[in-house]
Chains A and B, each alone.
Chain A
Amino acid sequence: MATQIVMDRTGDTRHTFDIHDRAEVEKAERRFRDLTGAGFTAAVRSGPGEQRVIRSFDPTAEETLFYPRLVGG
């Protein structure tokens, strides 16, 4: 199972999907495109305390985190 974590006002919302289920993977890919298209940044962990930003959907990523567009505070 893989998880997409989307930061929001509730802390985060989690969407899990089975990487072997084609329909679920397609749905996760659509979610990825919708979120990044709306300005969210997608990041995956690449080691303890390390991460990389991804620009395209990675179905093998165990956990993908999305945070909203950054603005000056």
Chain B
Amino acid sequence: MTQQIALAICSFVLALLGTALLSALSLVVARSGSGSKTFRFETEARALTLLKEWLSPKQRASYERFRYFDVIGSQTGTRYRIHHGTQTNIEELSETGHHVCKWCFVPDGDLVAGDVMLAQKIALETNERGALSVAHRSFVSSGPRRF
């Protein structure tokens, strides 16, 4: 009888410890996820601040209103629209402002949107041909755009 009581108490204590351990573990995981999100948010905010510092007043106004800005290619005078994003976010426009195609080139490494857009702007405005020589071109119809 005494043994049964001891066994029951041991089981109860073990279950209690297990529950406490699981709770602590889930708390650590949740905090780590939240920290990662905060880090990403701060990184994106810092990159967007840098981007805005390097945009012309007209480009900045356009970006703040529409989440895109236009740049003029340094060698051909072609107009490109850089949309907020990190992939296939460059649209080539015709002289009449119509969609021609999309271009995709990015700085190497896992950079956030603000940094990617700034590198794309500088590249197109200073070395258009060099930038496009490494880019992928896409003629897929615009449709609903998702940058």
Task: Knowing A70-B106, A70-B107, A73-B104, say if A5 contacts B50 (CB, 8 Å).
Answer: yes
Residues of A near B42 (CB, < 8 A) are 11
Q: Please report which residues of chain B, range 107-123, place their CB below 8 angstroms from some CB of chain A when the two chains form the complex.
A: 107-112, 114-115, 118-119, 122-123
Q: Interface residue tally of chain B, by bracket?
A: 35 or more
CB-CB nearest in chain A for B111: A7
Q: Interface residue tally of chain A, by bracket?
A: 20 to 34
Partner of B115, one of A11, A70, A72: A11
CB <8 Å contact, A68 and B108? yes
Report B's interface with A, CB cutoff 8 A. Answer: 42-47, 50, 54-60, 86-88, 104-112, 114-115, 118-119, 122-123, 125-127, 130-131, 134-136
CB distance from A51 to the nearest CB of B (A): 6
Q: Which of B47, B107, B114, B130 has the most chain A CB within a 10 Å cutoff?
A: B107
CB <8 Å contact, B111 and A70? no
Report A's interface with B, CB cutoff 8 A. Answer: 5, 7-12, 39, 41, 43, 45, 48-53, 65, 67-73
Q: List 13 A-B contacts (CB under 8 A).
A: A9-B109, A11-B45, A12-B50, A39-B108, A53-B126, A67-B119, A67-B122, A68-B107, A68-B119, A69-B108, A72-B105, A72-B135, A73-B106
